[in-house]
Amino acid sequence: MKIVRTAAELRTEGSTGLVPTMGGFHEGHLSLFRSARAENRTVVASLFVNPAQFAPGEDLDRYPRDEKRDATLAEEAGVDVLFAPAAEEIYPDGFQTWVDVEEVGSILEGEYRPGHFRGVATVCLKLFNLVRPARAYFGQKDAQQVAVIKRMVRDLAVPVEIRVCPTIRDEDGLALSSRNAYLSPEERERALALPRALAARDPGALDGLAVDYFEEADFEPRVLAAAVRVGSTRLIDNVVLEGDTE
């Protein structure tokens, strides 16, 4: 596996699958790498903790960063190129062009994290333009992110196919997330109320957690999505409702 830091080194051959990430790899990321591996000649994973999608006071500074560990895991999962740019490579001096997916980006997460999806959409479009993938891979765990990216791709006719992979969970039901590393054992136990409440479609099961939202969202597929705060850690999760017989 090659590690590259500049756009100039990115030339790849054949159909390319891109997996955009912020690192702190777990089975959720690895499942995206494996899907990309199965469907493309070349697999590029980007590793970039995107400052533009963090608001002041969020966890940008403490976000887990361990490039060596991530590089080993990515290589084992079949990634050919790990694109780990410096911030200036993505946001050159004078940068002032943003993608704002107005409606889908302003509800739910967008309401609690203003500017978040503007940062996400902009960095994804930039990565698509740098890597020029035939396909890009995202996790259903971040259902609204998928909805935002799909809307952007449709609206701006971006020539990439968006592939969505299922949410990977720990045995106890907690969706894997780089942010789970912030949880103390006691907080992790309390966090289990989130997948349980979603599975039961019952916000009452979140008793004792600080709930930002617990709402159905008209994405494709339709989901029940929730965000909670456990101590200083904010967690999001969702379950797919389509085909729900209730």
Rounded CA separation 235/177 (Å): 8
Residue 28 binds ligand AMP, judged by CB under 6 A = yes
Taking the complex as a whole, the smallest distance from the CB of residue 93 to ligand AMP amounts, in Å, to 26
Q: Under rule CB under 6 A, how many of the chain's residues touch ligand AMP?
A: 17
The yes-or-no answer on residue 26 being catalytic is no
* Nearer of residues 78 and 96 to ligand AMP, judged by Cβ: 78
Q: Which of 142, 148, 180, 219 binds ligand AMP (CB under 6 A)?
A: 142
Q: Determine contact, residues 227/203, Cβ cutoff 8 Å.
A: no
Q: Which of 85, 110, 139, 195 binds ligand AMP (CB under 6 A)?
A: 139
Taking the complex as a whole, the smallest distance from the CB of residue 138 to ligand AMP amounts, in Å, to 4
Give the x-and-dash track for 170-199 against ligand AMP (CB under 6 A).
Answer: -----xxxx---------------------
Taking the complex as a whole, the smallest distance from the CB of residue 110 to ligand AMP amounts, in Å, to 16
Other Cβ atoms within 10 Å of 12 Cβ, number = 20
Taking the complex as a whole, the smallest distance from the CB of residue 78 to ligand AMP amounts, in Å, to 16
Rounded CA separation 244/221 (Å): 11
Where do the DSSP E strands lie in the chain? 2-4, 16-21, 42-47, 81-83, 135-139, 161-165, 210-217, 223-230, 233-240
Task: Considering only the stretches 8-16, 36-44, 103-111, 135-143, report the one whose residues sit in contact with ligand AMP under the rule CB under 6 A.
Answer: 135-143
Rounded CA separation 92/96 (Å): 9
Q: Which of 23, 24, 29, 180 is catalytic?
A: 29
**Residue 11: closest CA among 67, 77, 81:** 81
166: phi > 0 → left, psi -120 to 50 → alpha, else beta; which? beta
Q: What distances in angstroms separate CA 245 from CA 202, 225, 232, one per listed residue?
A: 16, 18, 36
Residues β-bridged to residue 46: 20, 83
For residue 54, give the amino acid letter.
Answer: F
Taking the complex as a whole, the smallest distance from the CB of residue 26 to ligand AMP amounts, in Å, to 7
Q: Which of 138, 182, 214, 219 binds ligand AMP (CB under 6 A)?
A: 138
Task: Considering only the stretches 63-71, 95-103, 169-177, 192-200, report the one whose residues sit in contact with ligand AMP under the rule CB under 6 A.
Answer: 169-177
DSSP string spanning 73-102? HHHHTT-SEEE---HHHHS-TT-------T
* Nearer of residues 51 and 204 to ligand AMP, judged by Cβ: 51
* Nearer of residues 11 and 232 to ligand AMP, judged by Cβ: 232
Binding site for ligand AMP (CB under 6 A): 21-22, 28-29, 31-32, 138-139, 141-142, 165, 167-168, 175-178
Catalytic site positions: 29
